[in-house]
A and B are shown apart, each in its own frame.
Chain A
Amino acid sequence: MFIAIAIVIGVASLISGFIAIHHEKLSVAIIASGMVSLFASVIFLLLAAPDVAMTEASIGSGLTTLIFFYVLNKIRQRND
């Protein structure tokens, strides 16, 4: 059972990592990299590390994505 979950989550995280690097629109790429962090936090849960999963979900997935969006917004304002 765990093996099936691991395969699905691993493939999904690789696909979203590929989108994060290859998509032309920056906002889509940033969301995809947030999804990589979210899948990584599920992987940490499978590895019996709830502390790390909590940190990754709140810091790696939440705050990092938000900081990226703040900077992107600032850059767009300047280009207008």
Chain B
Amino acid sequence: MIKKILIIGLLAGVGLIFFDLFNAYQGSEVLGKTGRYYAENGADEVGAANLVTAVIVTYRGLDTLGEVTILFLTAAIISFVLKFRREDFIPNRPVRITSELLDSASQVIVPVIFMVGIYIFINGHLTPGGGFQGGAVIASGVLLMIMANPNFGISHKVIAKVESISGIAFVLIGIMGIFLAGGFLDNRLLGLGNLGELFSAGVIPIIYTFIGLKVGAELSNILGTISHAQNEKN
């Protein structure tokens, strides 16, 4: 009973805070100062048609580096927590046979899914999308492979190599920016090109490709670890 009163009191308090915030919100007719700066100078300084990409990869590139690190840490902690003893592991757990349809369709569809993912992150500076969305699409392709064959083990060596190489390349490109251009993660290492073309916006497509590979590898690692835990004896 006391617990219920406490919950209702806490909810009422938070609701009051939210109501205050809602009352103060007026919507806006014009851009704020920061948004105006990005809108006016984004095309000249960065050269990416998609301004969200410009903010993520160049203006706030350090945040993205931190975020990819957090994702790596989560994947590492999940593998660590779900680590199980060797003798508990049943290598070829008897599983229900997957249907013929799923099995053959996965062989046809998985390459197409990978291609869509790569398309999404290569065109990240022109159209909506980018490394994170493309990485998620690639991870869903890996998931289809796991579903079609539950005993399919993702090679941890390949994932570790893809992940670490793309992480190192991301940081190295950022450091090259200090010496060859204006600062850390400056994208003017290569020419900016014409706005709206595939080869434009300096190193943004290259960085986003590495982010996409890294995110795809990390998400597939999380999915693979969790599905692998099902092979464990109870």
Contact = CB atoms under 8 A, between A and B. Distances in A.
B140 A77 contact: no
A17 to B, nearest CB: 15
B58 interface: no
B136 A63 contact: yes
A55 interface: yes
B140 A63 contact: yes
Contact of A77 (B129, B143, B222, B230): B230
Given A59-B136, A62-B140, A51 B223 contact: no
A77 B132 CA distance: 33
A67 B128 contact: no
A73 interface: yes
A51 B50 contact: yes
Contacts of A53: 128
Contacts, number: 47
Given A63-B139, A67-B222, A77 B130 contact: no
Main secondary structure of the interface of B (DSSP, over half): helix
A80 to B, nearest CB: 8
Nearest to B219: A63
B128 A63 contact: no
Interface in A36-74: 50-51, 53-55, 58-59, 62-63, 66-67, 70-71, 73-74
Interface string B211-225: 000000001001100
B226 A70 contact: yes
B234 interface: yes
B230 A62 contact: no
B227 interface: yes
A3 B50 CA distance: 27
Contacts of A67: 222-223, 226
A12 to B, nearest CB: 21
A78 B234 contact: yes
Given A51-B129, A63-B219, A66-B223, A58 B140 contact: yes
A51 B128 contact: yes
Contacts of A54: 128-129, 133
Interface in B130-177: 130, 132-133, 136-137, 139-140, 143
Contacts of A62: 136, 140
A55 B50 CA distance: 15
A50 B130 CA distance: 11
A43 to B, nearest CB: 15
A63 to B, nearest CB: 6
A5 B130 CA distance: 28
Interface of B: 50, 52-53, 128-130, 132-133, 136-137, 139-140, 143, 219, 222-223, 226-227, 229-230, 234
Interface of A: 50-51, 53-55, 58-59, 62-63, 66-67, 70-71, 73-74, 77-78
